Structure 1
Amino acid sequence: MQAQILDVYSSPNGDTWRLRIGADESRVVQHVPNAASGGQASEMPVEAFLSSDEATPQRDALVVLLGQLRRDALLPSTHDSDERPVPRKPAVDALLLTAARVRTFAGEAHLTNASGFFFARDERLFLVTSRHVVSDAPSEHFPDRLEIELHIDADNLGASTWFSLPLYADGVALWREGADDGGAIDVAVLELERDRLPETARFDAFGPEHLPKPDGELPVGASVLIVGFPLGFHDSLHHLPVVRQGVIASAFGLRFQGKGCFITDARTHRGTSGAPVVTRDPSKVGSTDEPRLPWLLLGIHSSTIDMGSRDVQVDETLGLNSAWYSDILMTLTR
């Protein structure tokens, strides 16, 4: 075979990595530093390059390229170590894989963008989002299906597909919603049939173990993260959400103004509805058996809060948001 040199990865600072396949089928990785670092190229056998379990973009890119070459029959199979699964650290925080980008449709017409997340209980899997995402009379928003974006390759986050979820069957709504003595709760849950999902679907899910304990305390001002897709914005290469940071702005555990929600102070936008509101679980941080998801799922982001009496010419928006307490999920997934 003829010698080949294939691009593997280029870093933002100008470093490049290439795969050189010799005429004798030997394989080495060439690293060319940027000019500021001297630009002196170095080479390393593929086996040595892959032997580290450190997750780096260039290493992940090489794994993907080798797989593609094998699928295209451009690289002969061998029994070298790069043919065997290599232990790898997760390339991305599992928290980002709990969130799902949501699109709503009426027929083939795309209506809105939103956020959601996965929740698992007793081997069953659910998509959680805001109630007004699936139906909202005030805005005359009545979609008949949702689409969620799923990763389909654990080694290549750039590979994804859209999965359609009907909202009605024979005219009957398929989602679950709830209400209490404070009125309707802006949370909707749809059960997902695992065997209908793509076989290689890659995601993470919260569970009952991630809900705050009844006797847990979270002070006003405690830091929270809201994981979603504001205005549909996201990492379009890896199909991942972004995270906004905020704080708890009301007494956590109390029903704000008699409703089953609490208040966050964070900058949010349309498209964030249905996003999980989380904080680090202090009992898990730094422990020797720290789980893949060391987070507490505090609530489900609903919407921004504004004052009807606000003078739009003089007063800024409050910058506050409502989030529904996550314990409603134990009722809706029962």
Structure 2
Amino acid sequence: MEEIVTVEDPGERFAGHPDPDIDIAIMPIGGRLQQLWDAGRRVSFKAVGADHCATDELLSRFEPIEPITFVGYPDGLYDAGSLLPIVRRGHSATALRIDYGNKPVFLVDASVFPGSSGSPVFLIVPASTPDKYGNIMLGPTTKVVFLAWLRRSTIATCRCTRPLLSCHSLGS
């Protein structure tokens, strides 16, 4: 059963990024989730924890051009039946761990629609994948790595802002 949860006066609950060029906002929802769970209501969501964050060590193994995946609700599009977002793929167009234009961003070559700002960008690392040296990295499962947020798109290229928080800060 679908239920819409209304947040009273969301303006006071959202915290925007201190840099106005970074289109991201955070709203604490833990208290509301706890109320719903205590009332016996099933709540479904996915969180990105510290264990999903990219590290310099991991990113140093990849080339500047890597497949990326981003998730969001461009122009309000979503699957009305399941309430799931739209998932798109593309490639990084500059190195993931090197600042582009002296800013903590990298470029993406992908079909990015208006309204995608703030969408999380992920690197999907298969269980066995070659690194930039040709070595095969083996892991127990496919790893999903959070890289950045989409911001300001143009026709074919957009910028992704890497998190300015450490992974430890994201996990707390």
Indicate whether the TM-score tops 0.5: yes
2:141 paired with 1:297: no
Task: Write the deviation string for residues 282-319 of structure 1: whole angstroms up to 9, x where unpaired.
Answer: 4688844x38xx300111112203xxxxxxxxxxx4x1
Q: Which residue of 1 aligns with 2:49?
A: 207
**1:152-231 equivalent positions in 2, closer than 5 A:** 159-165=1-7, 166-169=9-12, 174-179=14-19, 184-192=21-29, 193=31, 194-197=33-36, 199-216=41-58, 217=60, 218-231=62-75
Secondary structure at 1:202's aligned position in 2? Answer: coil
Deviation at 1:239, TM superposition (A): 1.3
Larger radius of gyration, structure 1 or 2? Answer: 1
**1:128-167 equivalent positions in 2, closer than 5 A:** 159-165=1-7, 166-167=9-10
Residues 163, 271 of structure 1: alpha-carbon distance in 2 compared, 3 angstrom cutoff: farther
2:164 paired with 1:321: no
2 CA distance for matches of 1:326 and 1:214?
12
Answer whether contact 1:185 1:260 (CA < 8 A) is retained. no
Task: Write the deviation string for residues 93-150 of structure 1: whole angstroms up to 9, x where unpaired.
Answer: xxxxxxxxxxxxxxxxxxxxxxxxxxxxxxxxxxxxxxxxxxxxxxxxxxxxxxxxxx
Secondary structure at 1:326's aligned position in 2? Answer: coil
1 CA distance for matches of 2:73 and 2:116?
5
Answer whether contact 2:151 2:158 (CA < 8 A) is retained. yes
Deviation at 1:197, TM superposition (A): 4.1
Deviation at 1:327, TM superposition (A): 4.9
5+ residue gaps in structure 2? 130-137
Answer whether contact 1:224 1:246 (CA < 8 A) is retained. yes
Q: Which residue of 2 aligns with 1:72?
A: none
Q: Tell me how many residue pairs correspond in the alignment.
A: 155
**Structure 1 or 2: more strand by fraction:** 1
Answer whether contact 1:187 1:324 (CA < 8 A) is retained. no
Deviation at 1:332, TM superposition (A): 6.7
Residues 160, 262 of structure 1: alpha-carbon distance in 2 compared, 3 angstrom cutoff: farther
| Aligned mate of 1:261, from 94, 105, 115 | 105
Task: Write the deviation string for residues 219-244 of structure 1: whole angstroms up to 9, x where unpaired.
Answer: 12200011112222222211111211
Deviation at 1:333, TM superposition (A): 7.0
Deviation at 1:328, TM superposition (A): 2.9
1 CA distance for matches of 2:124 and 2:145?
6
Superposition TM-score, scaled by structure 1 size: 0.41
2 CA distance for matches of 1:271 and 1:184?
15
Task: Write the deviation string for residues 248-279 of structure 1: whole angstroms up to 9, x where unpaired.
Answer: 01121122212222111111112222211112
Q: Percent identity?
A: 21
Residues 174, 232 of structure 1: alpha-carbon distance in 2 compared, 3 angstrom cutoff: closer
5+ residue gaps in structure 1? 1-158, 306-316
1 CA distance for matches of 2:149 and 2:128?
22
Q: Which residue of 2 aligns with 1:281?
A: 125
Q: Which residue of 1 aligns with 2:90?
A: 246
Q: Which residue of 2 aligns with 1:149?
A: none
Residues 237, 322 of structure 1: alpha-carbon distance in 2 compared, 3 angstrom cutoff: same
1 CA distance for matches of 2:94 and 2:85?
26
Deviation at 1:160, TM superposition (A): 2.8
Secondary structure at 1:215's aligned position in 2? Answer: helix
